[in-house]
């Protein structure tokens, strides 16, 4: 009911709106200030209208409605200009700048705050000058130029101390603490926020005390002092409750949730973030609602609840876009990409990373841009898109150089080297890893040095320089022992074992992998222990000790099942399948390989499709060995389809071989010929001499069966010559024997005898008595 005092009613609505705003009841505050504006216009009170417009701008900003906030403050600027109130004009220009900053429009924000500062100085109003400096500090903080932000906040502190104004002094300490914190100087941030708290306590300012407790709690959390952080956030919550400040309560709940997340108590974190979300919705604070969805997503992801995490990340993204909050949108996009990558869904992650990169560039945030390039490089690397990976890692490196960030330069060189290695650019890969090692030495980054040495060793292995690789791994081992780091020592032993296997120094390999296993067991590292069992199994396979190998792989399988690691369990089943195949236990081998395939259907790792292809090929081999070539052909065809889809030359070569031999065994000689000829072409693409020699040998044998004797002899001559180049006398012996058969079939008995004599000489030299018997029996016939 109105008493006819429109001016009084206007003031009452203004006071009511301010009260609601201070309690975080933004919806009610909005209603009250709208009434205030209507009544001010009705009684043509320009001053009251200006007050209503600036209050509406503040409420709209609080709820994230930036277009309406901007419109309200700009209208206010026009009104106060008409009134000739230069001081109020300066303040309102500052408010317009604050909204521009919230919208991500940095240049417009700085223009407004610079204009605000100029007007304040002209008016000789130091309080307003301090406010302008504070806003400029916030603007440069937003652009991550923390040094410039600190310089502006120091000006605020100087003015506050000159004026003896404790409220401005507290604001200066808050700005300085925030800039130091975001710049990574937590010790200095702690000092500034402690001073902020001291000022609030001395002034008995409960609102300021709550803010200081909140800021200090965040710093303690970053310092890893979770108990102290929780106490401070709970103190903030208690103050917010006393003041009936709903928005403050929401922030406190959120900070308590973040502290629990940092301490690893994710269920507790979720409980507090849900309370924060409820309050954000109650007070219609969309900006807070968005960030809370992000916090909930992080906690759910840590618990492995990926579907819930994705739901909340998408909610964060949706609200950020609705609010035109570019920085929030960029953060949500990056988190969505990372969440999908953690599930192995790299192709789905890529579009989110690309959008994050584009927004980072728009914002001029070079650090975020570098991060986006890093993650895009990693996603493409895991997808096997190595050229794309190189492109993004190159960008990451260039940005790290621009930022003079040595640690990220090292990381970029490391990743770039791995991508070049995958492409076969071995010299470039080696150069990158050497740069990585140099930077690790320069920055005294121990883990970096260790990894760089290992990466250099891995490149040297690919270059065929196993001796030099061994030296690198030995340096790794010495480094690990000097550092008394058992985990690094185990990794170095594993690398040395793999190198010794390549050198066929299998006893040495067995020793290194046994050391690796012991170290992993002593450290209680079940995942590492499973890998060590796998390595030992591989050495026993190379030695022909298939029973020992199967025992190692069973241990690997048990560790994988204890860890509930599906990818590792699939690998162990595959290894057991291969061991059983070599032992002649074909039915058991089929069981393990089928189990591997079933598990691979449920996982999404970077190698799962390749592992499926290999398992299909091994199943084909099992059915061949069981004398069921028709069933074998089905699996070899699936293997070939998978290999072609993966564009994996090595697996295509293996699949064409399996198909060719299976078709040969059922008498489909023409079909076998097509497959083995394709296998020969692929072996040339592969560029592995042993594979080429085997392909020529098996194709030559098929041509003998088809009575294509000239083609047979040509193929077998190629096999013999490659075997000689490789000094592989067993393969050379096989070639001589087959050549003898071909010449015998042609009726050239003298040539046949010469070839078989060459075969016999090699058999004597190698001590292969079964070959001697074959040759002698041929000569007797």
What average pLDDT does the chain have?
Answer: 92
Burial classification of residue 670, based on how many CB atoms lie within 10 Å of its CB (0-12 exposed, 13-18 middle, 19 or more buried): exposed
Token digits of residue 644: 């072609």
CB 435 within 8 A of CB 397: no
Work out the percent of the chain whose per-residue pLDDT is above 90.
83
What pLDDT score was predicted for residue 2?
53
- Among residues 124, 62, 120, 126, the alpha carbon closest in space to that of 92 is found at 120
CB 157 within 8 A of CB 195: no
Domain 693-781 has CATH 3.30.70.2660: no
Ordered alpha helix ranges (H), 164-225: 166-182, 186-202, 206-222
What pLDDT score was predicted for residue 580?
96
What pLDDT score was predicted for residue 608?
85
Instruction: Report pLDDT digits (tens) over 247-283.
Output: 899 999 999 999 999 999 999 999 999 999 999 998 8
For residue 481, the surrounding DSSP H or E stretch is: helix 466-483
pLDDT band for 603, please (50, 70, 90 cuts). Answer: confident
Token digits of residue 566: 């599906």
Token digits of residue 743: 């010449």
What pLDDT score was predicted for residue 212?
97
For 160-172, give one letter per residue: b (16+ CB within 10 A) or e. Answer: beeeebbbbbbbb
Distance CA 490, CA 475 (A): 13
Token digits of residue 475: 């340096």
What pLDDT score was predicted for residue 102?
86
What pLDDT score was predicted for residue 384?
80
Q: Given this chain, do its domains 464-524 and 693-781 carry the same CATH topology?
A: yes
Distance CA 614, CA 577 (A): 11
What pLDDT score was predicted for residue 772?
41
pLDDT, mean of residues 604-633: 91
Q: How many CB atoms lie within 10 A of CB 402?
A: 11
Ordered alpha helix ranges (H), 524-585: 526-543, 546-563, 566-583
Which residue reads 């067991």 in tokens? 521
pLDDT at 778 over 50: no
CB 217 within 8 A of CB 253: no
Angle between helices 426-442 and 406-423 (to 10 degrees): 160
CB 99 within 8 A of CB 58: no
- Per domain, the residue ranges of the chain are 464-524, 693-781
SS3 15: helix
Residue 724's alpha-carbon distances to 161, 463, 742, 769, in angstroms, are 89, 22, 20, 21
SS3 12: helix
DSSP 474: H
Work out the percent of the chain whose per-residue pLDDT is above 70.
98
Instruction: Report pLDDT digits (tens) over 327-370.
Output: 899 999 999 999 999 888 898 999 999 999 999 998 888 999 99
- Among residues 415, 407, 344, the alpha carbon closest in space to that of 378 is found at 415
Instruction: Report pLDDT digits (tens) over 505-554.
Output: 999 999 999 999 999 999 999 999 999 999 999 999 999 999 999 999 99
CB 576 within 8 A of CB 550: yes
What pLDDT score was predicted for residue 324?
82
Residue 513's alpha-carbon distances to 58, 418, 517, in angstroms, are 66, 24, 6
- Among residues 381, 361, 380, the alpha carbon closest in space to that of 370 is found at 361
- Contacts of residue 211, defined as CB under 8 A and 6 or more positions apart, other chains included, come to 174, 196, 200, 236
The DSSP line for 111-168 is: HHHHHHHHHHHHHT-HHHHHHHHHHHHHHHHHTT-HHHHHHHHHHHHHHHHHHT-HHH
Residue 702's alpha-carbon distances to 621, 661, 666, 677, 706, in angstroms, are 19, 9, 13, 10, 6
CB 199 within 8 A of CB 173: yes
CB 274 within 8 A of CB 296: yes
- Contacts of residue 209, defined as CB under 8 A and 6 or more positions apart, other chains included, come to 197, 200, 201, 239
According to CATH, the topology of domain 464-524 is 1.25.40
pLDDT band for 762, please (50, 70, 90 cuts). Answer: confident
pLDDT, mean of residues 477-487: 92
pLDDT at 151 over 80: yes
CB 73 within 8 A of CB 53: yes
Instruction: Report pLDDT digits (tens) over 63-118.
Output: 888 899 999 999 999 999 999 999 999 999 999 999 998 887 889 999 999 999 99
- Among residues 705, 714, 710, 766, the alpha carbon closest in space to that of 735 is found at 714
SS3 45: coil
Determine the Cα angle at 177 with ends 172 and 182, to 5°. Answer: 130
CB 173 within 8 A of CB 216: no
Token digits of residue 639: 């293997």
Which residue reads 């924060």 in tokens? 276
Distance CA 292, CA 276 (A): 7
CB 412 within 8 A of CB 393: yes
- Among residues 185, 134, 123, 140, the alpha carbon closest in space to that of 159 is found at 134
Token digits of residue 642: 């998978």
Determine the Cα angle at 771 with ends 769 and 777, to 5°. Answer: 100
Residue 418 CA, distance from chain mean position: 15
pLDDT band for 768, please (50, 70, 90 cuts). Answer: low
What dihedral angle (degrees, nearest 10) is formed by the CA atoms of 434, 438, 443, 444? Answer: 90
pLDDT at 777 over 60: no
Token digits of residue 280: 């954000």
Instruction: Report pLDDT digits (tens) over 426-442.
Output: 999 999 999 999 999 99
pLDDT at 775 over 50: no
pLDDT band for 25, please (50, 70, 90 cuts). Answer: confident
pLDDT band for 424, please (50, 70, 90 cuts). Answer: confident
pLDDT, mean of residues 551-567: 95
Distance CA 643, CA 206 (A): 68
Token digits of residue 663: 């078709």
């Amino acid at each position: 009911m109105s008493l006819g005092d429109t001016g009084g009613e206007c003031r009452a609505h203004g006071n009511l709106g301010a009260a609601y705003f201070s309690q975080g009841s933004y919806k009610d505050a909005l209603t009250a200030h709208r009434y205030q504006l209507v009544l001010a216009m009705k009684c043509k009170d320009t001053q009251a209208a200006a007050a209503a417009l600036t209050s509406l701008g503040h409420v709209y900003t609080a709820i994230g409605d930036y277009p309406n906030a901007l419109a309200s403050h700009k209208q206010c600027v026009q009104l106060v200009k008409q009134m000739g109130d230069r001081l109020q004009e300066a303040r309102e220009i500052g408010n317009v700048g604050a909204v521009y900053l919230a919208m991500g429009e940095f240049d417009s924000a700085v223009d407004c705050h610079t204009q605000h500062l100029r007007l304040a100085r002209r008016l000789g109003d130091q309080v307003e000058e301090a406010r302008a400096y504070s806003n400029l500090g916030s603007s440069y903080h937003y652009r991550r130029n923390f040094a410039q932000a600190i310089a502006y906040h120091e000006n605020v502190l100087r003015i506050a101390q000159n004026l003896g104004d404790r409220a401005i002094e507290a604001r200066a300490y808050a700005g300085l603490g925030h800039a130091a914190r975001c710049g990574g100087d937590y010790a200095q941030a702690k000092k500034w926020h402690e001073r902020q708290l001291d000022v609030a306590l001395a002034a008995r300012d409960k609102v300021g005390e709550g803010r200081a407790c909140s800021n200090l709690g965040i710093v303690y959390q970053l310092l890893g002092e979770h108990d102290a952080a929780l106490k401070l956030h709970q103190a903030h919550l208690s103050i917010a409750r006393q003041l009936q400040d709903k928005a403050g309560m929401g922030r406190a709940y959120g900070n308590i949730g973040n502290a629990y997340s940092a301490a690893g108590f994710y269920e507790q974190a979720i409980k507090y973030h849900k309370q924060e979300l409820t309050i954000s919705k109650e007070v219609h604070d969309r900006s807070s609602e968005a960030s809370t969805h992000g916090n909930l997503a992080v906690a759910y992801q840590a618990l492995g609840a990926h579907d819930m995490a994705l739901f909340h990340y998408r909610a964060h993204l949706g609200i950020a876009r609705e609010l035109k909050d570019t920085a929030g949108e960029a953060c949500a996009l990056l988190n969505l990409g990372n969440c999908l990558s953690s599930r192995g869904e790299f192709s789905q992650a890529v579009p989110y990373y690309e959008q994050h990169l584009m927004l980072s560039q728009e914002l001029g945030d070079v650090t975020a841009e570098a991060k986006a390039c890093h993650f895009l490089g990693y996603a493409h690397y895991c997808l096997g898109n190595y050229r794309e990976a190189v492109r993004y890692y190159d960008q990451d490196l260039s940005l790290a150089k621009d930022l003079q960030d040595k640690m990220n330069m090292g990381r970029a060189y490391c990743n770039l080297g791995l991508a070049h290695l995958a492409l076969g650019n071995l010299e470039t890969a080696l150069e990158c890893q050497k740069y990585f090692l140099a930077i690790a030495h320069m920055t005294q980054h121990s883990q970096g040095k260790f990894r760089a040495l290992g990466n250099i060793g891995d490149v040297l292995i690919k270059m065929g320089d196993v001796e030099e690789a061994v030296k690198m791994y030995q340096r790794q081992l010495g480094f690990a022992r000097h550092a008394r780091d058992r985990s690094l020592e185990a990794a170095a032993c594993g690398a040395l074992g793999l190198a010794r296997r390549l050198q066929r120094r299998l006893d040495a390999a067995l020793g290194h992998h046994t050391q690796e296993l012991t170290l992993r067991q002593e450290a209680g590292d079940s995942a590492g222990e499973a890998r060590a069992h796998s390595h030992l199994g591989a050495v026993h396979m190379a030695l022909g000790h298939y029973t020992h190998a199967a025992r190692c792989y069973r241990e690997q399988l048990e560790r994988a099942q204890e860890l509930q690691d599906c990818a590792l369990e699939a690998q162990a089943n595959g290894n057991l399948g291969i061991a059983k195949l070599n032992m002649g236990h074909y039915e058991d081998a089929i069981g393990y390989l089928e189990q591997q395939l079933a598990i691979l259907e449920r996982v999404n790792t970077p190698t799962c499709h390749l592992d499926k292809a290999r398992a299909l090929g091994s199943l084909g081999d099992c059915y061949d060995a069981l004398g069921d070539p028709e069933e074998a052909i089905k699996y070899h065809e699936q293997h070939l389809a998978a290999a072609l889809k993966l564009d994996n030359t090595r697996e295509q070569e293996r699949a064409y071989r399996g198909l060719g031999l299976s078709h040969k065994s059922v008498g489909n000689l023409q079909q076998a010929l097509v497959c083995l000829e394709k296998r020969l072409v692929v072996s040339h693409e592969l560029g592995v001499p042993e594979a080429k020699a085997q392909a020529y040998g098996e194709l030559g044998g098929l041509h003998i069966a088809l009575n294509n004797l000239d083609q047979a002899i040509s193929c077998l001559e190629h096999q013999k010559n490659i075997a000689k180049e490789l000094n592989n006398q067993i393969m050379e012996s096989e070639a001589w024997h087959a050549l003898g058969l071909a010449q015998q079939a042609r009726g050239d008995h003298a040539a046949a005898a010469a070839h078989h004599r060459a075969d016999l000489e090699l058999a004597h030299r190698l001590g292969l008595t079964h070959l001697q018997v074959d040759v002698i029996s041929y000569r007797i016939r």
